[in-house]
Amino acid sequence: MHGFSPATTQPSRCKPTTSRFGGVLSDAGGILEHTLIGFNAPTKDVTMRWSLSNFLVLLVACDAVAADKPATPPIVPSIVYRDHVFVHYHNLNARNKPYVIVVKPLNNYAISTTFDVANARNGLGSLFVRGNVLVVGENDEWPLGIGQVISIDSVGYFSADRICDAKWIPVEPDGEAVKVVQGSDPKMWSRKTERFIQLKAGDTEISHTAVAASGERNLLVFDLIKTTPSKDAAPKFHIAVTRVTPEMKVRLDGWTNRGRAEEKPIEDVPSEFSEPFQAYLIGDDYYFLTRSGSVYLAASPEKGKSRTMKGIWTDPASRIAYIISDGERTGVHFLIPARDKIGWGYFRLGPTPKLQFLSANRPYPDDMEPAEIVRELTQLLKMRKEIPASK
């Protein structure tokens, strides 16, 4: 997790240094620092110090990541909490194009606080509020060797209340602030996985990971597993579900500060999609919102049967563009399809989506910031009394 910009519309001075291939090298001034290659340097110095093999690894790895970029704009996951919106998206207008969480008060369009987050591997992280804690799941990676990269999946806990006050404060699961030093990066759970660029038939790899809340303490980790096919065959995908029980206290026992959570495999679910996604748990049902804007349901099965998946919103002409979650009510999410013509509709996430009228407004201009669009859409939902006043 990187540093943050002050609560202003002015650009931040704390920006990550990047290579021309887009990979984050270092953060030269943020509250929390990631260093990809072990030293801070401008791009030209990095190029001089790297060996040819490392240069080729970065080129291969970044080409592989670039191939995974969406053809259409990815969905924008958002949360409304304490009359603020938290909006997670890829900021293509910024010089270094970071993934960010932008916080805006509902009653003031001019104020904006931007937090730069890790260089997401494939453009979609996890974001939800439980109690007064903002939980942020990240997918990150960097080159490890020839044809090989290291993938990091992690979960951090932060104060949702203090973020509304433009403060990025790591916390315990109960919301108590964690005292950390400059450069430390406390996590409640994390995992390192080696990923290979070239795989043979039958090999498996984790294509994407999403995290959802399960009860008051646990997390459910959803791994999209790809099985490499034989020649001329299509790859197969399934989702491995793991229950994670984080420790009650954040560990601060070293540079990595990785939580040592308990992990228990739960089940495997055949997947109907093959792209990055976000996961949501309503009761015992799993919902998946994909990067291209489709929604899938894996409902709780009957006793003795295995869980299966089906698409419940998959029309590419009406793809989901925004999801706005109520951070003060568990399991309440509103999905808003992209519109090419006049008018906006929405539906609440559930087993049988029913589109309802939201507004007759024209589509928002392409250059309008996603956070401002979400702020306006949230105001419309509040006018329809879908989102009550903050507690």
Across residues 151-169, what is the average pLDDT? 90
- Contact between 289 and 320 (Cβ < 8 Å): yes
Task: Inform me whether the pLDDT recorded for 383 exceeds 80.
Answer: yes
Q: Which residues, at least 6 apart from 276, have a Cβ–Cβ distance to it below 8 Å?
A: 68, 74, 122, 123, 124, 139, 207, 208, 210, 224, 290, 291
Higher local confidence (pLDDT), 151 or 335: 335
Band (184; pLDDT cuts 50, 70, 90): low
Confidence (pLDDT) at 191: 86
Task: Inform me whether the pLDDT recorded for 164 exceeds 80.
Answer: yes
Task: List residues bridging with 77 in a β-sheet.
Answer: 323
- The length of the chain is 391
Confidence (pLDDT) at 146: 74
Report the 10 Å Cβ neighbour count for 243.
Answer: 17
pLDDT, tens digit (0-9, with 9 covering 90-100), for 70-111: 456 678 899 999 999 999 987 777 666 677 899 999 998 888
pLDDT, tens digit (0-9, with 9 covering 90-100), for 325-376: 999 999 999 999 987 777 889 999 999 999 999 988 777 887 788 999 999 9
pLDDT, tens digit (0-9, with 9 covering 90-100), for 266-294: 999 999 999 999 999 999 999 999 999 99
Residue 284, both tokens: 């015992």
Cβ contacts of 226-232, under 8 Å, gap ≥ 24: 226/274, 227/202, 227/203, 228/199, 228/200, 228/201, 228/202, 228/203, 228/204, 229/201, 230/201, 230/202, 231/201
Residue 203, both tokens: 């090999």
pLDDT, tens digit (0-9, with 9 covering 90-100), for 287-328: 999 999 999 999 999 999 999 999 999 988 889 999 999 999
Residue 67 phi/psi, 5-degree rounding, is -65, -20
Confidence (pLDDT) at 182: 63
Nearest to 122 by CA among 296, 277, 280: 277
- DSSP 8-state assignment for residue 316: G
Angle at 302 between CA 296 and CA 305, to 5 degrees: 85
DSSP H or E segment with residue 155:
strand 148-159
CA distance linking residue 212 with residue 221, whole number of Å: 7
Higher local confidence (pLDDT), 213 or 71: 213
Percentage of the residues of the chain whose pLDDT score is greater than 70: 74
CA distance linking residue 101 with residue 221, whole number of Å: 21
- DSSP 8-state assignment for residue 11: P
CA distance linking residue 126 with residue 150, whole number of Å: 20
303 exposed, middle or buried (CB, 10 Å; 0-12, 13-18, 19+)? exposed
Task: Inform me whether the pLDDT recorded for 154 exceeds 90.
Answer: no
3-state SS string for 185-224:
CCCCEEEEEEEECCCCCCCEEEEEEEEEEECCCEEEEEEE
CA distance linking residue 377 with residue 79, whole number of Å: 12
Report the 10 Å Cβ neighbour count for 328.
Answer: 19
Confidence (pLDDT) at 53: 36
CA distance linking residue 350 with residue 295, whole number of Å: 10
What are the residue ranges spanned by the domains of the chain? 16-383
CA distance linking residue 47 with residue 21, whole number of Å: 12
* Maximum average pLDDT range among 73-77, 147-151, 152-156, 371-375: 371-375
DSSP H or E segment with residue 283:
none
Confidence (pLDDT) at 337: 92
Confidence (pLDDT) at 115: 86
Confidence (pLDDT) at 74: 75
Nearest to 372 by CA among 112, 167, 161, 100: 112
Band (251; pLDDT cuts 50, 70, 90): confident
- Contact between 311 and 326 (Cβ < 8 Å): no
Across residues 178-184, what is the average pLDDT? 70
Confidence (pLDDT) at 94: 67
Nearest to 58 by CA among 18, 98, 94: 18
Confidence (pLDDT) at 72: 60
Band (120; pLDDT cuts 50, 70, 90): low
Ordered DSSP codes for 125-146: -EEEEETTEEEEEEEEEEEEET
Q: Residue 79: helix, strand or coil by DSSP?
A: strand
Residue with tokens 């920006």, as numbered in its chain: 15
The CATH number for 16-383, chosen from 2.60.120, 3.30.420, 3.40.50, 2.115.10, is: 2.115.10
Confidence (pLDDT) at 224: 95
Report the 10 Å Cβ neighbour count for 211.
Answer: 25
Higher local confidence (pLDDT), 275 or 2: 275
pLDDT, tens digit (0-9, with 9 covering 90-100), for 41-81: 233 323 223 333 343 333 333 444 444 444 566 788 999 99
